[in-house]
Structure 1
Amino acid sequence: MKLANNGFQGNLPSSLGNIKSIEFLDLSHNNFHGELPRSFVMNGYFLKYLKLSHNKLSGEVFPEFVNFTVLWELSMDNNMFTGKIGEGLRNTKYLQLLDISNNNLTGVIPSWIGEFPSLVALQVSNNSLEGEIPISLFYLPYLLLMDLSANILSGDISPRVKSNDLTFLFLQDNHLSGQIPYTLVENLYVLDLRNNRLSGNIPQFTSTQNIHTLLLRGNNLTGSISRQLCGLRNIQLLDLANNRLNGSIPSCLKNTSFGFGK
């Protein structure tokens, strides 16, 4: 059932809970508001695709009685959901895409999200999530995209992280500190760490050839720009502005698009 991009408004009808055989439901880009009906979230065990993006829905996002056990794709971004990422989400073991960005969520990112073996995309940006990034997220075997940007995440990025198949990693606009692990970028195409509190030297990225966008603006990085960066053959955009770097720019990077300004 696809009802997206209309002018529907009001609360979601509780009768949605009676449609027990539906697999696809797209109510995105409307003006629905209020909380999700209890009957709906308790009886959603046939749903594989649920899209509620760009509404004005509110309330707790994953209460314990949620029953979306076979869900593959869950998009609830750009709403007004509040509270923590609840235990009700933990039952969605087949989840491949989770987008709960642009809400008012608080608390920590649960480490058990790293138990979703099929997860390909994790998007929780623009909330008020805090605490450290669970290392379990970096061991998801099929994860390609992780966007945790614009939260209040803090602490060091563990040196034990492995990017596996991770291709796009967005951690900008948080409170992350410590050094950047060189293992973080082994398979990445895009790494965005802008506007954190990271320190130390720019890592010696000697084991990656894929990265084409490296954004480190607005941190506390020190030292010079190493010629090791010349080995990044596919680098197209390198933003190092607003750090504490010194020395000269290696001539081998002359064909790279730089960000050194404000």
Structure 2
Amino acid sequence: MPFSVGHLSSLIYLDLSHNKIDGQIPSSLGNISSLRGIYLDDNQLNGTIPTCLALLPHVDMVNLHSNNLQGNFSLDSFISTSNYLQLDLSYNKLTIQVDPNWIPPFSLQTLTLSSCNIEGILPSFLSTQYQLFHLDLSQNSLWGNIPSWLHDLPSLEYLNLSYNNFQGRFPFTLNISSFIIIDLHKNQLDGCLSVPSIASPHLKVFDLSENEFTGVIPVQIGRLLRDIDFLSFSKNDLSGGIPSSIVLLQNLQVLDLSKNRLSGKIPLRLSNCSYLTRLNLGKNNLIGQILAQIGMLRYLVTLQLNGNMLKGNLPSSLQNCSNLQILDVGDNLLVGNIVLWLSKFSELMILILRSNKLQGHIPNRLSNLSKLHC
């Protein structure tokens, strides 16, 4: 970026995002007192963030994510007089520091600080941000309990605290009735999944995978999350059956309950979730047969039922799922021949049938699967 950009004294918005600009951010940007928006994301910028950017009086949007910026940067450098501020410093090599006594002189609307080497508990200044609707602090080193004051942020719709070290229980008092996305995967949260903690009519993405939750999946889950698109409780310690109410999630596209201790049979009317593209029930204790109705899931791209105790034949209706790219039914009790119609899956990249009781010959037609990796 040329130093002369600082001579554009009337500039209001600067957008150079999604290019291949390298070098440092010129300090001359601090001369443009009229600047409100700075969009330099997805480039190859390096060096530190000039302190002058935080001193611009009217700035309401700073987006520097996905560069090679480094060094320490303190959030309390910002003095903007704007009513609202949107800030994204994610995916650099920065270390973001926060004064524990800092209260911003403005209201944050979006704050995205993913992979910014933030340590400690969730910054307490966030408890004053009543206009905040997007909060992403994923991939940091935050720990402690998820604080109950999140309940008092009425505008919060997007919450991503994944890939941290949060402990304790899911905050049962959290009012998530207005939430659209909650991503808390890859932490150390524990306790039971309680019905009050997940009830929300607007939730689209709910990811609690890779934690330490125990107990059963609430039986009412399908009646409480009617509009959900993505649901993952994988890699926990959940037991009991898959609730039959889950078939009410007719907008569901991804269901991942893998790597738990779930038992019983696959819900009979799971085919009601007709938009499913990814179904992963692998590495549980499920019994019974693979339902013939599973062939009604015509949009399936991934089907993983491996590591259970499923028996019987691979249902012929499965050949209706012509978009399959991953089919893993290994480590079960399936019987019969390796069926010829498997060769019809032209998009299939991964096929795993190992550790079953299959018999007969491997059909030559499987050589037609030109995209097969495994």
Q: TM-score, normalized by length of structure 2?
A: 0.56
1:53 paired to 2:90: yes
Classify 1:175/1:60 alpha carbon distance in 2 versus 1 (closer, same or farther; 3 Å).
farther
Q: Aligned to 1:131, which of 166, 177, 189?
A: 189
Is the contact made by 1:216 and 1:240 (CA closer than 8 Å) also made in structure 2? yes
Classify 1:240/1:54 alpha carbon distance in 2 versus 1 (closer, same or farther; 3 Å).
same
Matches within 5 A, 1:107-256: 107-110=144-147, 113=150, 119-128=156-165, 129-132=187-190, 138-149=198-209, 151-156=210-215, 157-161=217-221, 162-172=224-234, 174-179=235-240, 180-184=242-246, 186=249, 187-204=251-268, 205=270, 207-256=272-321
Classify 1:63/1:154 alpha carbon distance in 2 versus 1 (closer, same or farther; 3 Å).
farther
Structure possessing the higher radius of gyration over alpha carbons: 2
Matches within 5 A, 1:50-89: 50-58=87-95, 65=102, 67=104, 70-89=107-126
2 CA distance for matches of 1:115 and 1:86?
Answer: 15
Classify 1:198/1:96 alpha carbon distance in 2 versus 1 (closer, same or farther; 3 Å).
farther
Letter in 1 for 2:290: I
1 CA distance for matches of 2:195 and 2:58?
Answer: 37
Letter in 2 for 1:248: N
Report deviation, 1:231: 4.8
1 CA distance for matches of 2:319 and 2:263?
Answer: 25
1 CA distance for matches of 2:109 and 2:194?
Answer: 22
| Residue matched to 2:45 | 7
Q: Residue 106 of structure 1: SS of its match in structure 2?
A: strand
> What is the percentage of aligned positions where both structures have the same residue?
31
Alignment RMSD: 3.7
| Residue matched to 1:32 | 70
Q: Residue 254 of structure 1: SS of its match in structure 2?
A: helix
Report deviation, 1:178: 1.9
Gaps of 5+ in 2: 1-37, 166-186, 330-351, 355-374
Is the contact made by 1:222 and 1:244 (CA closer than 8 Å) also made in structure 2? yes
1 CA distance for matches of 2:56 and 2:195?
Answer: 38
Report deviation, 1:215: 1.6
Report deviation, 1:175: 1.9
Is the contact made by 2:214 and 2:239 (CA closer than 8 Å) also made in structure 1? yes
| Residue matched to 2:328 | 259
Classify 1:100/1:210 alpha carbon distance in 2 versus 1 (closer, same or farther; 3 Å).
same
Superposed CA deviations along residues 9-48 of structure 1, whole A, max 9, x for unmatched, are 34x56555544532211121232333533343x8687444
Is the contact made by 1:109 and 1:134 (CA closer than 8 Å) also made in structure 2? no
| Residue matched to 1:103 | 140
Classify 1:181/1:3 alpha carbon distance in 2 versus 1 (closer, same or farther; 3 Å).
same
Is the contact made by 2:60 and 2:80 (CA closer than 8 Å) also made in structure 1? no
1 CA distance for matches of 2:313 and 2:264?
Answer: 17
Q: Residue 7 of structure 1: SS of its match in structure 2?
A: strand
1 CA distance for matches of 2:260 and 2:121?
Answer: 23
Is the contact made by 1:189 and 1:212 (CA closer than 8 Å) also made in structure 2? yes
Q: TM-score, normalized by length of structure 1?
A: 0.75
Superposed CA deviations along residues 48-80 of structure 1, whole A, max 9, x for unmatched, are 422111123446779574549743433222332
